[in-house]
Structure 1
Amino acid sequence: MSAVNTADAADARRAAGAGRGLSNGQFAWLLMLPGLALFAAIIVYPLVSALATGFFEQSLVRPGRTFVGLANFADLLGGDFWPVLRNTLVFTVGATVAPFVIGYALALALNSGIRASGFLRGIFLFPWVIPGVVVSFLWLWIFNANYGVLNAVLLKLGLIEASVSWLGEPTMAMIAVIVTKTWASFPWMMVMLLAGLQTMPKELHEAASVDGAGAIRRFRSVTVPHMKGIAGIVFLLEFIWNFQHFDTIYVLTGGGPAGATKTFAVAVYDTAFKGFDLGHATALGGLWMLLLLVLVAVYLRRETKENA
């Protein structure tokens, strides 16, 4: 009898110990705690602290700060925000559409089975592997008004009579930064679109050919529907990246001439580190972040639909 009671008592203690143990959910949270703490320390806290600065008048060269509420945001919305938004959208749309069209065309050509497609693919990838700042300095030399390659070639061909200041005129400067970013971006888009094309069953094109569809009809009826998902994701990702792009514009024009190429990235940098105005710079960054969040939400929603 005593042995039975002892065994029962041991079972009860084990059951009580099991009841005090961690559940699977609690154990999962325990494993995530170090990562969450690190995320909060290096992402959440600096972000919240930076956004809070937008409600203060604060300078990099003077100690202290003064609470001004929404005054910084009101100043921006009544002044520089809208021209900067326009420039950002012009650059973003141009630097997304142009490389997308070029990358799509090259992907279709390489997927058609042309000779030396592997070699051409490697050549086309060359601009993508060069660091962005190096690409910017390369095109800065090409567009130089005094000794640039572009002016030299055009003068040699007789297409212009005098050197053109490509980076000194507002419209041409915007075109120049879009061309530079296009040259650096189209290889990535080409590779992604080519990967999508190579997943398309050849039987679909063969069936369309049997039905009498020509190349254009097959592209519209077979290729475009198959590529709709991957093409949309590639386009949207490039749009988001271009919306926050900095190095190409800053190296080529610094946001000039006369602010014609000043985007959000350049404007925040200039306001904070040239104007030493942290309050307005952070307020502008906060408005910029809200617009980016809208784009990210569109991307995540599209991804959810694609994976559903």
Structure 2
Amino acid sequence: MYSPPPERRRIGDGAFAVVLTLPGFALLVAVVLYPLISALVTAFFEQSLVIPGREFVGFDNIRDVLAGDFWQILRQTMVFTVGSTALPFVVGFGLALALNTGIRGRRVFRGVLLVPWLVPGVVVSFLWMWIFNANYGVANGVLETIGVIDEPQAWLASPGTAMAAVIIAKTWASFPWMMVMLLAGLQTVPSDLHEAAEVDGAGTVRRFSSITVPHLKGIIGLVLLLEFIWNFQHFDIIYVLTGGGPAGTTQTFATSVYETAFRGFDLGHAGALGLLWMVILLVLVVIYVRFSERGEQS
């Protein structure tokens, strides 16, 4: 006697969504969440990278970090972050305004100006290490030729110029993406508003301050916040160019955590410094999320 085949059980939409997200969630746990939680827990232990075992010390590591050079590192991190956010913004905004005009070859210029953004950070670092070299660097050659300096300068080895040199190198690598974002925003500004303001007698500066800037206020805020957050945790260019030196004048949270953990072999204090660093980053991320939500609502 014939019996119909058993009806196949269909998976629901919710279960199917869970199945699809499981691989990504497992990867997130293995690569991000577990190392992060492990590092934060290490902040409460005295633990060395070369000596097995660890001892719970509570908040002693955090107190030691705060009593040490934490505030100097925070100040230097802020100097680097603000400088490497404001300078590429000014350069990127100026180039975006130029490319938004009817100049010939703007598409070619736009492609060429994107090249620094595509170069890996380590390559950028070695390029600028050569430019700032005290013996054969291009910077010294050009500045001596035009009479700005009388003798070669050790830009990366001098406490007075090392931070400025690092900020310049980071600016060269960062301005293209700011330029692209701001250029995209400029192309959304209605041309009718500029034409009407020009008919009313408004000059270029007045139209820029009264029409362009207010229209781009949202994207300017997002670009600055994102760049600020990225620069606050930047590592490669600083470490390759100066290693946090000379005399610790370019030391930031990223380089300090690395030095404490992998050169000082002190995982406990590195974890405590990383914990404090993460708290500050969380504040910046909350500000970014709030700003994004406000922009979407408006």
How high is the TM-score relative to the length of structure 2?
0.92
How many equivalent pairs are there?
Answer: 290
The range that moved more, 40-49 or 75-84, is 40-49
Tell me the equivalent position of 2:96. Answer: 107
State the 1:24 CA deviation.
6.2
Tell me the equivalent position of 2:209. Answer: 220
- The answer to whether structure 1 residue 158 and structure 2 residue 143 are counterparts is no
Tell me the equivalent position of 2:256. Answer: 267
Distance 2:218 2:149 in 1: 44
Tell me the equivalent position of 1:45. Answer: 34
Q: Provide Cα deviations, 1:123-170, integer angstroms capped at 9, x if missing partner.
A: 211211111111111110111111111112222333322111111221
State the 1:49 CA deviation.
1.4
- CA distance 1:195–1:63, change in 2 (3 Å): same
The 3-state SS of whatever aligns with 2:46 is: strand
Distance 2:37 2:291 in 1: 28
Distance 1:100 1:60 in 2: 40
Q: In proportion to residue count, which structure has more helix?
A: 1
Structure 2: state its 5+ residue gaps.
Answer: 1-8
- The answer to whether structure 1 residue 234 and structure 2 residue 248 are counterparts is no
Distance 2:73 2:189 in 1: 41
Distance 2:109 2:64 in 1: 51
Distance 1:52 1:219 in 2: 51
CA RMSD of aligned residues (A): 1.8
Amino acid at match of 2:85: T
Amino acid at match of 1:61: V
- CA distance 1:188–1:34, change in 2 (3 Å): closer
- The answer to whether structure 1 residue 66 and structure 2 residue 55 are counterparts is yes
- CA distance 1:181–1:31, change in 2 (3 Å): closer
Where do 1:66-145 residues align within 5 Å? 66-145=55-134
State the 1:253 CA deviation.
0.6
Amino acid at match of 1:166: W
Amino acid at match of 1:156: T
Distance 2:212 2:259 in 1: 45
The 3-state SS of whatever aligns with 1:51 is: helix
Tell me the equivalent position of 1:244. Answer: 233
Distance 1:109 1:193 in 2: 11
The 3-state SS of whatever aligns with 1:175 is: helix
Amino acid at match of 1:210: V
Tell me the equivalent position of 1:297. Answer: 286
Distance 2:13 2:176 in 1: 45
Distance 2:26 2:152 in 1: 58
The 3-state SS of whatever aligns with 1:170 is: coil
Distance 2:25 2:56 in 1: 31
Amino acid at match of 2:245: G
Tell me the equivalent position of 2:175. Answer: 186
- CA distance 1:36–1:132, change in 2 (3 Å): closer
Distance 2:99 2:77 in 1: 32
- CA distance 1:194–1:70, change in 2 (3 Å): same
Amino acid at match of 1:195: A
State the 1:36 CA deviation.
3.4
State the 1:52 CA deviation.
0.3
State the 1:32 CA deviation.
4.0
Determine which structure has more spread, i.e. the larger CA radius of gyration.
1
Distance 2:287 2:175 in 1: 22
The 3-state SS of whatever aligns with 2:160 is: helix
Distance 1:266 1:252 in 2: 12
Amino acid at match of 1:172: T
Distance 1:257 1:62 in 2: 30
- CA distance 1:206–1:178, change in 2 (3 Å): same
The 3-state SS of whatever aligns with 2:161 is: helix
State the 1:23 CA deviation.
7.7
Amino acid at match of 2:111: G
- CA distance 1:183–1:38, change in 2 (3 Å): closer
Structure 1: state its 5+ residue gaps.
Answer: 1-17
Tell me the equivalent position of 1:285. Answer: 274
Distance 2:64 2:248 in 1: 18
